[in-house]
């Protein structure tokens, strides 16, 4: 039996990795991680957009590993903040802060914004790079509202304050299966699947 090719999922975020294991299930690849590939290098996100950051990470890690590599950059865009924090979502409240501190920081910034002005979206850009230098990108978006407080134990990042009006739930209140039906990452991964299926042949 021919062993499937390896696909490097280039993230050190355990929550993101858990989602990708489910989202990429059934593809003709054996998923591997940065740790399993013996890569300790941290690619700094110096791009001014999620697309630039995703391409940068996928390209560098593919060159380092010699493997087809999937990397993403994702973030929260808040209308009342002119689209911030966007590609700076993880570092918005400063370096080395917890998800809770990050959420509290954002809620404080929106304290005087009424419900109807709290529209927001999660955006995810996936980049797939090959060792030969080919790169393709896919994007997924999930619309919602920034809630007035934190709720829910699931997910990670801004999930506890991201309200989904059509479900009347926070992203953090969804099961992994539910989240993988509607999230920005799920929608980007759905577009990435046919690209990966062709690369896996």
Asked whether the CA dihedral 33, 179, 45, 89 is positive or negative, the reply is negative
Active site residue 159: no
66 Rama class: left (phi>0) / alpha (psi -120 to 50) / beta: left
Q: How far apart are CA 170 and CA 152, in angstroms?
A: 7
Beta sheet of 135-146, edge-to-edge order: 29-33, 5-9, 68-78, 119-129, 135-146, 162-164, 169-170
| Catalytic-role residue among 25, 41, 72, 73 | 73
Asked whether the CA dihedral 197, 47, 42, 159 is positive or negative, the reply is negative
- Residues noted as catalytic: 73
């Amino acid at each position: 039996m021919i062993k499937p090719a390896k696909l490097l999922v280039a993230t050190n975020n355990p929550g993101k990795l858990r989602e990708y294991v489910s989202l990429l299930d059934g593809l003709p690849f054996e998923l591997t991680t940065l740790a399993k590939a013996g890569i300790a290098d941290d690619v700094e996100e110096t791009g001014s957009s999620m697309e630039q950051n995703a391409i940068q990470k996928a390209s560098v890690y593919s060159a380092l590993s010699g493997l087809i590599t999937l990397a993403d950059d994702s973030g929260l865009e808040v209308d009342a903040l002119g689209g911030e924090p966007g590609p700076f979502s993880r570092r918005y409240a400063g370096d080395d802060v917890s998800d809770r501190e990050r959420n509290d920081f954002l809620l404080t910034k929106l304290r005087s914004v009424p419900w109807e002005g709290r529209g927001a979206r999660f955006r995810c850009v996936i980049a797939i790079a090959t060792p030969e230098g080919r790169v393709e990108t896919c994007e997924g978006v999930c619309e919602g509202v920034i809630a007035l407080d934190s709720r829910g134990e699931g997910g990670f990042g801004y999930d506890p304050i991201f309200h989904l009006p059509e479900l009347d739930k926070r992203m953090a209140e969804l099961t992994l299966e539910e989240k993988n039906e509607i999230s920005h990452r799920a929608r980007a991964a759905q577009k990435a699947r046919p690209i990966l299926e062709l690369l896996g042949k």
